[in-house]
């Protein structure tokens, strides 16, 4: 299963992997825990999250989790 979230951004972070670190944020009055929690949930289900910038101003988070069919 894949979930892709895109959001227009004004400022690109130099190192996108920093966005996965707890308490790292580029915004005022934010906790910096959102993407950290998404990564923890994805990894707990043997998945992953990939971050990228598309077209220079669009942030993309792609969450991939293996899908098991019910028996």
| pLDDT value at residue 36 | 93
| pLDDT value at residue 30 | 87
Q: What is the pTM of this model?
A: 0.79
Kindly state whether residue 21 falls inside one of the protein's structural domains: yes
| pLDDT value at residue 32 | 85
Query: By residue range, what is the domain housing residue 45?
Result: 2-64
Q: Count CB neighbours of 66 within 10 A.
A: 9
Short-list 60, 67, 66, 48, CA closest to 12? 60
| pLDDT value at residue 1 | 92
Task: Please identify every stretch of the chain with a pLDDT value under 50, giving residue numbers as ranges.
Answer: none
- Counting the structural domains of the chain, the total is 1
Kindly state whether residue 11 falls inside one of the protein's structural domains: yes
């Amino acid at each position: 299963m894949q979930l892709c979230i895109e959001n227009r951004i004004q400022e690109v972070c130099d190192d996108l992997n920093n966005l996965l670190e707890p308490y790292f944020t580029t915004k005022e009055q934010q906790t910096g825990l959102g993407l950290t929690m998404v990564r923890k949930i994805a990894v707990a289900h043997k998945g992953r999250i990939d971050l990228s910038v598309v077209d220079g101003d669009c942030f993309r988070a792609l969450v991939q989790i293996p899908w098991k069919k019910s028996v």
